[in-house]
């Protein structure tokens, strides 16, 4: 139970606090006295979705990490959390976080494109989904053996 609360706090920091602080720093970035302005206007919409989906990810983390080791419940919540993480990362694709356009006062601007990095993360998550589905089948098939080993320990 305590482990679930600890991991909920860890996931809240990584999925809510760090992205919002990063977006806030980029929003008001000054480099050597010259302000860099983000030209996208949906900064506040993005922070709303980061908080909303970050809370869902953190909630799933509680149930995943408070479940017994090698239980079907842990496997199902790990799978659900993985799907929510995919949705969380996919939501960045439709926000300003993948194509960040900066305007340097008096010099012009540039665009930072992070879409390929996002797709690499989603590819890794797809492979992890395959492993989690295997784990759920393994926990279901070997249910009695897992219970016997748990009772011995």
Does the pLDDT at position 39 exceed 70? no
Q: Structural domain boundaries of the chain?
A: 2-152
**HEC assignment per residue over the chain:** CHHHHHHHHHHHHHHHHHHHHHHHHHHCCEECCEEEEECCCCHHHHHHHHHHHHHHHHHHHHHHHCCCCCCHHHHHHHHHHHHHHHHHHHHHHCCCCCEEEEEECCCEEEEEECHHHHHHHHHHHHHHHHHHHHHHHHHHHCHHHHHHHHHHC
Within 10 Å of residue 6's Cβ, how many Cβ atoms? 14
Please give the radius of gyration of the chain, using alpha carbons only, rounded to the nearest integer: 20
pLDDT tens figures, 132-149? 899 889 888 888 888 888
- Is residue 70 within 8 A of residue 16, CB to CB? The reply is no
pLDDT tens figures, 96-120? 667 777 777 777 777 778 888 888 9
pLDDT at 7: 93
pLDDT bracket for residue 36 (50, 70, 90)? low
Q: What is the mean pLDDT of the chain?
A: 83
The structure's pTM equals 0.75
């Amino acid at each position: 139970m305590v482990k679930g609360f600890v991991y909920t706090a860890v996931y809240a920091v990584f999925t809510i606090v760090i992205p919002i602080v990063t977006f806030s720093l980029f929003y008001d970035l000054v480099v050597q006295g010259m302000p860099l302005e983000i030209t996208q206007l949906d900064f506040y919409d993005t922070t709303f979705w980061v908080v909303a989906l970050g809370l869902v990810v953190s909630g799933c983390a509680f149930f995943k990490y408070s479940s017994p080791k090698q239980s079907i419940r842990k496997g199902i919540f790990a799978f659900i959390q993985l799907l929510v993480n995919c949705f969380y990362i996919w939501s960045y694709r439709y926000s300003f976080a993948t194509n960040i356009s900066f305007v340097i006062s008096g010099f012009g601007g540039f665009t930072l494109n992070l879409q390929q990095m996002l797709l690499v993360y989603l590819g890794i998550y797809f492979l992890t989904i395959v492993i989690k589905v295997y784990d759920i089948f393994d926990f279901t098939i070997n249910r009695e053996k897992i219970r016997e080993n748990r009772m011995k320990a």
